[in-house]
Amino acid sequence: MDERLERIKELDSLYVMQTYKRLPVAFVRGEGNRVWDTEGREYLDLVSGLGVSILGHSHPRVIEAIRRQAGEILHTTNLYYVEPQVELARLLVEHSFDGRCFFANSGAEANEGALKLARKHYYMLGEPRSKVVCALGSFHGRTIATLSATGQPSKWEKFGPVTPGFTHIPLNDIDAMEAAVDEETAAVMLEPIQGESGVNPASPDFLMSARSACDRYGALLILDEVQTGIGRTGKLFAHQHSGVRPDMMTLAKGLANGVPIGVLIASSKLGDVLQPGDHGSTFGGGFLACAAAVETLKVVIEEDLPGNAGRVGNKLLEKLESLKRRIPLVREVRGRGLMLAIQFDEDCARKVVLDCLERGVLVNDVTPDAVRLLPPLVISEEDALAGAGILEEVLTGLKD
């Protein structure tokens, strides 16, 4: 018996709110694409902390940046200038679009900032608007407002009433987009690829229709790239595949390779909307998170990790697509770059995750009938295909 794991599980059950359905393992060390559990067993990580550890685990440059910053200063608040924060803002703007950044601690907080900015923008124009159009199946966070923006009514019931002002339309329904956006619309908020509902891509035409509708009525386009941003889909930002430019973009997960951070980037015309006292965060944009993010972003750009995500992701997609021809259980494979999902004909995703775990590979049951792969962007083709091979063995076993 693994006494260390049993002790962790006991303490968790006694003192931690049970808001997660945990897998029966605790990891204590990681390096590159691999992690090790309390018994020293090695696993290939195809989840990367839900898309967070994009450089893999214990990346030496990020470790050094964290150590260096921790040895200098950790916190003063945003009442004073923060050097790593302005360096990070410069890098982000130079590689996205002209604008300004607001820093927070999570994707939900970044999305809250975007919603507040949109409302104040129209307040300043003397024509208050509060309507926000979102897609069914979307996920924008767990705060009351971002939960209300999230297009999954099943998540609202226990926390109602939801915040009014949000309208939800089917993903990729251009007619519905054109009908929903009007002179009362403050913003359209979309994910280029919906992550938490099972990796569902928004089509380029749908994103274009959102941009056109916003332009027609003077509304703002917010793209939630919390999961798709920082190279995951084969470009630095997923909207770059479509050529659509947002008015605001939100980022979080992979930006600091594991240190909590979120950011709202607003175009130049919106950069002065939020004034002192309008919005803030005690910890947002702190020294440690921004130092880690600066180094993470530099590695991503210098080593062309979006390119690696595209190349390896295409090979992985080809391998997973081949499973459809051999394993009837596999109904569909979808996604882009290193953000992929396998759709099944039945609710077997948890079984697949547990069987892969037993074989030393981490995958994620994003829905009861779909498994998601979000490997680190540094993963090699060899490791990615090895993980897919284990997944194939598991699915073949289920078929038999």
For each of the domains in the chain, give its residue range(s) and CATH number, in order of start: 3-58+304-399 (3.90.1150.10), 73-302 (3.40.640.10)
Check residue 398 and give its pLDDT: 87
Q: Of all residues in the chain, what percent carry a pLDDT higher than 90?
A: 98
Check residue 1 and give its pLDDT: 78
Summarize pLDDT for 256-293 with one digit per residue, the tens.
999 999 999 999 999 999 999 999 999 999 999 999 99
Q: Active-site residue 139, yes or no?
A: yes
Check residue 164 and give its pLDDT: 95
Check residue 399 and give its pLDDT: 62
Structure tokens, 84: 């790593």
Q: Active-site residue 224, yes or no?
A: yes
Q: Active-site residue 98, yes or no?
A: no
Of the candidates 337, 395, 393, the one whose C-alpha atom is nearest the C-alpha of residue 371 is 395
Of the listed 253, 319, 355, 383, which one is catalytic? 253
Of the listed 37, 45, 224, 383, which one is catalytic? 224
Summarize pLDDT for 114-151 with one digit per residue, the tens.
999 999 999 999 999 999 999 999 999 999 999 999 99
Check residue 251 and give its pLDDT: 98
Strands 200-201 and 193-194: antiparallel
Split at pLDDT 50, 70, 90, the class of 61 is very high
Structure tokens, 110: 């970044």
Of the listed 139, 237, 287, 344, which one is catalytic? 139
Burial label for 136, CB within 10 Å (0-12, 13-18, 19+), is middle
Split at pLDDT 50, 70, 90, the class of 400 is low
